[in-house]
Amino acid sequence: MDKTVQKKVTAFFSKFTPISFRKNGVFYQPDDLISEIFLIKEGLVKQSIISENGEELTINVFRPNSFFPIVLVLANQPNKYFFQAETDVLAFRAPVKEVSEFLQLNSDVLLDLTKRFSAAILGLSARLEELSFHQASNRISSLILYLADRFGEAKDSKTVIKLPLTHQDLASWTSLTRETISRQLEQLSKKGLISYNRHSITILDKDKLQDS
């Protein structure tokens, strides 16, 4: 987010009451009426959907300074997703009507939001291609690289993904089973491409991972 836009957004949301959610706390679930928009100050929020056979698919993870679920409001669509705290979260919440008016009065904020939506759609499109055409190993490698771009922190020649990830989390991103995830992570680890410890993934060789 552009720094000027971020200051505007923060100033607007800071007028409203902050709220804390513990990890796994639910902001919205399917069929809930979207009455408030949340701006994340600290923590991460996962957007996911549950299939008819009970499988979870992760759609997105919102980071600090993101506000959600504004896309549903702008598209005038009912909610069919879970929005759940991936970590402990501190957020501001503002009524939908006032957020809509704020966006109408601040075209630079709306433009910035549009750019970020566009980038998210491209990322989602790439993920759908991977789910449709790629083998399990390619899905895992591509997902790790995608998460590194969004949540990675460079340390020497390594990249640490600053997002806690269980095998089930990775399964929900890729539509693979936890058993398959375990095997693929073990193979990548044996090749010296990543290390996985206590829900933390570190990329040891990004170039080779991209070619894997």
Residues in the chain: 212
At 106 the pLDDT is 95
At 69 the pLDDT is 95
At 128 the pLDDT is 66
Secondary structure element (H or E) that encloses residue 200, with its range:
strand 200-203
- Which phi and psi angles does 199 have, rounded to 5°? 70, 15
Tell me the average confidence (pLDDT) per consecutive run of 10 residues in the chain, 212 residues long.
Answer: 88 94 96 96 94 83 92 92 95 96 94 84 70 70 88 89 88 86 91 88 89 73
Cα–Cα distance measured from residue 119 to residue 183, given in angstroms and rounded to the nearest whole number: 31
At 34 the pLDDT is 96
Tokens of 24: 């796994």
At 117 the pLDDT is 80
Tokens of 57: 């698919």
DSSP code at position 193: S
At 68 the pLDDT is 94
62 and 45 in contact (C-beta within 8 Å)? yes
